[in-house]
Structure 1
Amino acid sequence: MVQRIRRWVLEERRLEFPLVGVTLAALLGGLLSRFLAPSLAGVFWAIAYFAGGFYGVIDGAVALRNRRLDVNLLMLLSALGAAFIDHAEEGATLLFLFSLSNALQTMALERTRQAIRELLDLRPAMARRLREGREEQIPVEEIRVGDRLLVRPGERIPADGQVVAGFSAIDESMLTGESIPVPKGPGDPVFEGTLNGYGALEIEVTCPASDTMLTRIIRLVEEAQAQRARTQQAIDRFEQRYAWAVLGGAALTLLLSGLFGEPFDRSFYRAMTLLVVASPCALVISTPAAFLSAIAAGARRGLLFKGGMALEALARVRVVAMDKTGTLTENRVAVQAIHALDGTGPDQVLGLAAAVEARSEHPIARAILEEARARGLSLPEIREVEARPGLGVIGRRNGDRIWVGSPRLFQQEGIALPPEVHAHLKAAEQAGRTALLVYDGRWRGVIEVADRVRPEAVEAVRALRRLGVEVAMLTGDHPAVARAVAGTVGIARFEAGLLPEEKLERIRALAREIGPVAMVGDGVNDAPALAAASVGIAMGRMGSDVAIESADVVLLQDDLRRVAEAIALARAAMRTVWQNLAFASGVIALLVLLTFGVGLPLPLAVVGHEGSTLVVVLNGLRLLRWKGMPATDSASPAEGSFPQVPSGGSAIRLPGQPADRSHPGR
């Protein structure tokens, strides 16, 4: 009970606004009692000082225990000094406005933590577990890896898992910022806290509650809001020296005024006013007001910044280096073109290849089968399938053999390639694609497959260039593939065939040549480069755990356009910080000049001081309404596929981003 009250009063500061009300009531009572009952004025001033200085005394005591001098002590000294020279009403006014300002700051900065509360609210309290054909309601804390859960339409997913039965569309907007529901079916991942759409789903839990995506996001945001940026650290160090300087300045003002014959009360009053106007409240709050708001705004849009340092570094970035596989591309092989030969139709070429590859789990085989299913092709029955690892597959139909594979398969079989096939192979190599040959005694065709370029990659590169940021691609893939991808997305600077340690060295070289570097990656091999870059940015949904842990910024939605958005938000945060610092410094300078020039009254000094602090806080809170970069045209060559190489014959062009056909009937 005592601990709960202590947390309620001291940590959660639930008494701040009630005490402000008590201070105001006591202040008004004291002012009225001077005319109606002078003997009671002292009681009202004592109440005002106690209520108005309650949290200031606590914070000041903590600072003194840590051998620090802070703003609270300066304010308390000024209020006590006012009472000492019989200006208790002005000291009470000071404490009322100071406590009101602090309460408003607490309320305002509490809004920056709303993102965490919204994420916590996503967690359902109960789940439906399926056991031996029966459904039982259990608290989510009892869910274990391997449990089968039933999620009905309109319910939130209670744990990270994989769909084992059913089809639906999941609203993942609170986690990723993506407003369009994501189609889900057997084999697809689902995440705790996301909202199920129209269909019932049966899911298998794949992750303990302590390591779900939602839990990790909350942990990252909490750590980010607790971390101090370099600018904030510098201001905190400056605050200590500055506070001592203000205290020394007040003492010097009192001493020099006395030496020049000024009455003690007037000199002391001016010194107390100086303590107020020169106090660095607005300076100290300038950075956290902006950075906490930016971190919260980013979290709502699927951008996780691991603290103010990440924001600060990202705002200075001049070049973005990107990995290829899984970053610029989807890390998903797809059929890009079919070149039919010898009078064969494209669907017949695809059908033969799919029939032979039907039992294979190779990514290229899956891509061919997926395209055949998308076209609704009926496949001929193939018997006696013989796999040649690394080369291809040979099947038999009606006694006739069918070869589907790379050129090396035919070299091994002693089958010569005609000039027309050689021409298609050369074109595929130049386009950075893998060619699959189909032969059954006659050359039926050439199928080109490649990793699909993300449809938003071109727009992402353009958005970065509009921000004045250069883009480079670093990949361990073959130079021909790298050249094709770079040409598709519009990246002029790229390097291929790099090992992880070589990527790291290229990052350092870019930093020396151009300036601060942000590295975008998703794999384990990207972790060293992510850690070495000025800012590491990880693709959160498809990224490896190592990459996410090594990064400073995590994109919860695998959308490259969010990189430019993150940089724009970081720059907006830094602009706000510098605006706040300039404004706060200007107000302090003006109030100090007025104190010595025209003898600024203490109440007006308090209004100017606390008013500037609130302006700084509100300016920082504007970032909570940040809506992202303006939308741009997303036209892109090849619609996400590699550049199409012109060819003769009956070659057909396939769209690089076909509609998702993985869920029949959707």
Structure 2
Amino acid sequence: MRNPGRATARRTESASSSAFRNSGSNSFKRVGSDHAGHDHGPGGHAGGAERHGSGDGHDHAHANFLGANTELIFALACGVLLAIGFAIETLVAGAPEWLSMAFYGGAYAFGGFFTLREAADNLRLKKFEIDTLMLVAAAGAAGAAALGAWAEGALLLFLFSLGHALEHYAIGRAKRAIEALAELAPDKATVRRDGQTTELPVEELVVGDVVIVRPNERLPADGFVIKGSSAINQAPVTGESIAVDKEPVADVEAARAKPDAVDATSRVFAGTIKGGGAIEIEVTRRSNDSALAKVVKMVSEAETQKSPTQRLTDRFERVFVPAVLAVSFILLFAWVVVDEPFHDSFYRAMAVLVAASPCALAIATPSAVLSGVARAARGGVLVKGGAPLENLGSLKAIAFDKTGTLTEGRPRITEVVPVDGASEENLLVLAVAVEGLSDHPLAQAIVKDGRERLGGRDLPAATDLKSLTGRGVTAIADGKTVWIGKAEMFGVEGIPSLNAAATAAIATLRESGRTTMVVRHGDRDIGAIGLMDTPREAAKVALKRLREMGITRMIMISGDHQKVADAIAKEVGLDEAWGDLIPEDKVASIKKLAGEDKVAMVGDGVNDAPAMASATVGIAMGAAGSDVALETADVALMADDLAHLPFAVDLSRHTRSIIRQNVFVSFGVVAFLVPATILGLGIGPAVAMHEG
């Protein structure tokens, strides 16, 4: 993997354009950001400082002037010097005492270097956490030396520094897996500008540039295909295991005007891998705004969002640490009431400090969360922190939006039913003219299929579009107001009711499971349009797997009529469907479910954003192509594929299992060692068991 520090130094890019390249690494090297300006190096793994994020309980900086594993090197050096000193003291007859003391002194220097600096940081920040106990115990090693126990003091520092170095290595390995995401996009791109082809750094690409991508190259930017066809491996971003065929957009100007509405068969993402044949893409996002850049940024920030278990351990620390310090202080004076020398009382107090310092508890949750988040990202699932990662695995109920989630989200006109003497052509002309002003999926379906049915017929100009959220739209065409929407839009809020013919047409269409739209021109109802969305094949398989995993309740919520909702639910294998819901009703429904148990809401992240925000976990599908979905969801399925949801739930459950295992073992060791040290277990065995 390229070194992010060297890569950053190599470039001369602006702060904004460099955000993507550094988002996967700099988020873990924010030297001084919450250390009040305390800086130990120039930054980067190779020559700067390694930081633990604010969420891992280790807000300390570690100078890496010998490389990323400096602390581990110091710990091993401490152990080597300790072993040499002990060998001289016990095996070399007649060796001067100062010689073994010199090696012990070197062991103290290497073993205590990071410990003392961390102690200084904690004191300056007035922090008392689990590590504080070990820091005080390590300081007691100096007291042990003063009392003549040089070897035991050095052993304490060696085992403590080794344990800490391994903790930091475990956290760092999980973070480096996340950093690797930032290295997926190439450094340079072949660009055609003003008829000239040149190679430029990806940071210099601008929206509208045409990029040439050769066979087996990684795509340098988000955009849409304008020339050539190829299969593209989107696994690095969406987690899709099979390469996806891409083809040029049919209308470049339309794609340029609404890039987020470009069909998935033409949309491409930075960091994905092209197959055979060259293609040309038009850039729609700068490098720091690409889907991959947003994923890297959000994943790198995930560590700051503490999980429920981590918040619990934080509360435990606030009580446990002062209590242990108080008990150890009291034990220092055991010699006053017990017939033993001060040396023994001091030794016991230090042993209790060591035994009561569950360092493993400090990394039990962060290490598992970071590993889980990194693994999810590699599988095309963006999880924003420990809380949604843990909550996802404890769900028993999931609510699904219908359109675009359980269905393809590409409805087609199935019936056009004119009434009151209107013609099918007139009905479609007005509907296409008005819906052409809207970007709603149903509106786009009416425009697309309606134009095909009308051929090349001219359309009247439509103006003054107004949206009635969750119900329909109005606009002006041919000098009159055109109303298009659900039947429920009429007969309320001063809008005249539908005539008998329109009502009968709607009823017939709904009986056959169609989504319906009524068209009114002025004060005349001219007909209804029936549309049908195709259920996703993957949805049936995903729902079956979720049921097998123990999700006991799965509900479809939809704005469609109840009969339409029931028909779709039956086809995909759901027992429960709630229809006739406007956005406010969806929010109320999710809040009701959340009041009964933890519930997830799965949608596209756009119209469903309020309902997703009300759920325990909001899950968005197809997030790679939607900025709104990426921003609003707790969990984002980057591919437009519900099959990734069982993977995310299973990963969450596995992560929760690891966290519980870590916490249980950590507490168990403390529960055993504290009474054992009070009863006489020595520092050496206690530290060995503790750090082990």
- How far does the alpha carbon of each residue in 1:63-103 deviate from its partner, in whole angstroms, 9 at most, with x for none? 11121232442332332232232111111111111111222
Amino acid at match of 2:641: D
What corresponds to 1:20 in structure 2?
A: 75
Q: 3-state DSSP class of the match of 2:49?
A: helix
Higher relative contact order (CA 8 A, sep 6+): 1
Query: Are positions 1:60 and 2:119 aligned together?
Result: yes
Instruction: Call closer, same or farther: CA 1:155–1:63 in 2, change over 3 Å.
Output: same
2:368 to 282, 290, 293: 290
Instruction: Call closer, same or farther: CA 1:148–1:423 in 2, change over 3 Å.
Output: closer
Q: Is the 8 A contact 2:398 2:554 kept in 1?
A: yes
Q: 3-state DSSP class of the match of 2:62?
A: helix
**Root-mean-square deviation (Å):** 3.3
Q: 3-state DSSP class of the match of 1:3?
A: coil
Residue 203 of structure 1 deviates from its aligned partner by 0.5
Q: Is the 8 A contact 2:624 2:638 kept in 1?
A: no
Amino acid at match of 2:673: L
Query: Are positions 1:300 and 2:378 aligned together?
Result: yes
Q: Is the 8 A contact 1:83 1:91 kept in 2?
A: yes
Structure 2: distance between partners of 1:600 and 1:386: 90
Residue 453 of structure 1 deviates from its aligned partner by 1.4
Structure 1: distance between partners of 2:541 and 2:678: 57
Residue 48 of structure 1 deviates from its aligned partner by 0.9
Q: 3-state DSSP class of the match of 1:525?
A: coil
What corresponds to 1:140 in structure 2?
A: 202
Structure 2: distance between partners of 1:466 and 1:121: 37
What corresponds to 1:269 in structure 2?
A: 347
Q: 3-state DSSP class of the match of 2:533?
A: strand
Structure 2: distance between partners of 1:176 and 1:542: 7
Query: Are positions 1:42 and 2:101 aligned together?
Result: yes
What corresponds to 1:78 in structure 2?
A: 140
Structure 2: distance between partners of 1:185 and 1:47: 66
**How do 1:641-660 and structure 2 match up within 5 A?**
none
What corresponds to 2:56 in structure 1?
A: none
Q: Is the 8 A contact 1:115 1:299 kept in 2?
A: no
- How far does the alpha carbon of each residue in 1:488-530 deviate from its partner, in whole angstroms, 9 at most, with x for none? 1122222222222211111111123x30111111143211111
What corresponds to 2:259 in structure 1?
A: none
Structure 1: distance between partners of 2:589 and 2:325: 51
2:654 to 552, 572, 575: 572
Q: Is the 8 A contact 1:315 1:568 kept in 2?
A: yes
What corresponds to 2:289 in structure 1?
A: 211
Instruction: Call closer, same or farther: CA 1:248–1:383 in 2, change over 3 Å.
Output: closer
Any gaps of 5 or more consecutive residues in structure 2? Answer: 1-39, 51-60, 250-265, 417-427, 437-443, 463-471, 473-486, 488-503, 519-528
Structure 2: distance between partners of 1:383 and 1:67: 75
> Post-superposition, which runs of at least 4 consecutive aligned residues in structure 1 deviate over 6 A?
335-338, 381-390, 422-425
Instruction: Call closer, same or farther: CA 1:449–1:44 in 2, change over 3 Å.
Output: same
Question: What count of residue pairs does the alignment treat as equivalent?
Answer: 543
- How far does the alpha carbon of each residue in 1:255-274 deviate from its partner, in whole angstroms, 9 at most, with x for none? 23541212222222121111
Q: Is the 8 A contact 2:510 2:563 kept in 1?
A: no
What corresponds to 2:613 in structure 1?
A: 531
Residue 561 of structure 1 deviates from its aligned partner by 2.6
Amino acid at match of 2:559: G
Structure 2: distance between partners of 1:11 and 1:369: 66
Residue 536 of structure 1 deviates from its aligned partner by 0.7
What corresponds to 1:154 in structure 2?
A: 216
Structure 2: distance between partners of 1:388 and 1:59: 71
2:674 to 589, 592, 607: 592
Q: Is the 8 A contact 2:509 2:530 kept in 1?
A: no
- How far does the alpha carbon of each residue in 1:454-501 deviate from its partner, in whole angstroms, 9 at most, with x for none? 111112222222233211111112323212211111222222222222
What corresponds to 2:689 in structure 1?
A: 608
Instruction: Call closer, same or farther: CA 1:16–1:542 in 2, change over 3 Å.
Output: closer
Instruction: Call closer, same or farther: CA 1:247–1:81 in 2, change over 3 Å.
Output: farther
Query: Are positions 1:487 and 2:487 aligned together?
Result: no
What corresponds to 1:465 in structure 2?
A: 547
Amino acid at match of 2:685: L
Identity of aligned residues (%): 41
Q: 3-state DSSP class of the match of 1:137?
A: strand
Residue 556 of structure 1 deviates from its aligned partner by 0.9
Structure 2: distance between partners of 1:141 and 1:542: 20
- How far does the alpha carbon of each residue in 1:272-310 deviate from its partner, in whole angstroms, 9 at most, with x for none? 111111112122222112212211111111111111111
Instruction: Call closer, same or farther: CA 1:591–1:157 in 2, change over 3 Å.
Output: same
Structure 2: distance between partners of 1:270 and 1:386: 91
Structure 2: distance between partners of 1:98 and 1:539: 46
- How far does the alpha carbon of each residue in 1:317-350 deviate from its partner, in whole angstroms, 9 at most, with x for none? 2211111111111211258899xxxxxxxxxxxx
Amino acid at match of 1:610: E
TM-score (norm 2): 0.72
Q: 3-state DSSP class of the match of 1:63?
A: helix
Structure 2: distance between partners of 1:384 and 1:474: 38
TM-score (norm 1): 0.75
Q: Is the 8 A contact 2:86 2:151 kept in 1?
A: yes
Bigger mean CA offset, 90-99 vs 213-222: 90-99
Q: Is the 8 A contact 1:78 1:276 kept in 2?
A: no
Q: Is the 8 A contact 1:540 1:548 kept in 2?
A: no
Structure 2: distance between partners of 1:130 and 1:543: 25
What corresponds to 1:325 in structure 2?
A: 403
Residue 537 of structure 1 deviates from its aligned partner by 0.8
Amino acid at match of 1:38: E
2:181 to 115, 119, 122: 119
Residue 220 of structure 1 deviates from its aligned partner by 0.8
Q: 3-state DSSP class of the match of 2:395?
A: coil
Structure 2: distance between partners of 1:533 and 1:43: 63
| Structure possessing the higher radius of gyration over alpha carbons | 1
Q: 3-state DSSP class of the match of 1:524?
A: coil
What corresponds to 1:108 in structure 2?
A: 170
Query: Are positions 1:184 and 2:255 aligned together?
Result: no
What corresponds to 1:3 in structure 2?
A: 42
Instruction: Call closer, same or farther: CA 1:193–1:540 in 2, change over 3 Å.
Output: same
Instruction: Call closer, same or farther: CA 1:364–1:2 in 2, change over 3 Å.
Output: closer
**How do 1:215-614 and structure 2 match up within 5 A?**
215-334=293-412, 363=445, 366=448, 426=508, 429-432=511-514, 450-469=532-551, 470-512=553-595, 514-541=596-623, 544-597=626-679, 599-611=680-692
